[in-house]
Amino acid sequence: NSFNIMLLSPSGNQIFSHYYVYEFTIFIQSLTSDKLGNLIATGISYVDREDGSGDEEYITIKFTPDGIEDWTKEFTRVDWDDEVIDIGTDANNNVYISGTTIPYDDETNVSEFLTIKYSPTGVMRWSKRYKYDNDWESYVYGFAVDSSGRICVIGVSGEYFVTLCYSTGGTKLWIDTISYDDKDIEGNQVVFDKNGNTIVTGTYFFTIDMNRVFTDIFTRKYNAEGDTLFTRYYNGPGST
């Protein structure tokens, strides 16, 4: 139920070390900083109930540049497990986190993308969920934020690889879905470039026959409007 956060100088000298104790079991998944030098950590907290059961919830903790705790925010859905994977900030020091929310009752509900925005003071501005279809499970694989606060989330939803982009206000800007058919794509990373384009990369799995599965490196680039600029597959030296 604790973790240690440490800040080092460029030369490796310790600036501060803060031991954080929480009332429940906690696992930190990702750490970032904002333009003011504050550090923000996010992870999964396992909250125990009186009946012996428990929930997994998002937990986000902000520290000042001196390592003093500024605020802590939890987010949970009753009878759902919430598993955050990554965190980012924009030029205005807003905080964004994204991951997957998973139902206890998988007979009536399916897992969904779950993305949240907090203000610099820890006020939740919005939360957004996504699934391609009510019958298909969805899982987040990657997440990125640009300086303006645009958010891009990648993952799988049923039979589709999904790239989803939100505005800083939480409005869905565009979405791209790639049908699996005879292939499988697992996105591992998404980034924005300085021109506002989005680049997604991951692994492309495909089957030649029943006994052999091959993999390529998959990369796709989008412009700010979500139009595909190019798609490339790399399978080793000599690949075009």
**pLDDT score, position 230:** 94
- Cα three-residue angle 186-190-196, rounded to 5 degrees: 145
**For residue 76, what are the contacts with CB-CB under 8 A and spacing of at least 6?**
47, 55, 56, 57, 58, 82
**How many C-alpha atoms does 69 have within 13 Å on its Cβ side?**
13
Query: How distant, in Å, are the alpha carbons of 56, 101, 134, 154, 156 from that of 180?
Result: 30, 23, 18, 15, 10
pLDDT band at 128 (very low <50, low <70, confident <90, very high): very high
Which range has the worst mean pLDDT, 26-30, 46-50, 115-119, 170-174?
A: 46-50
pTM confidence score:
0.86
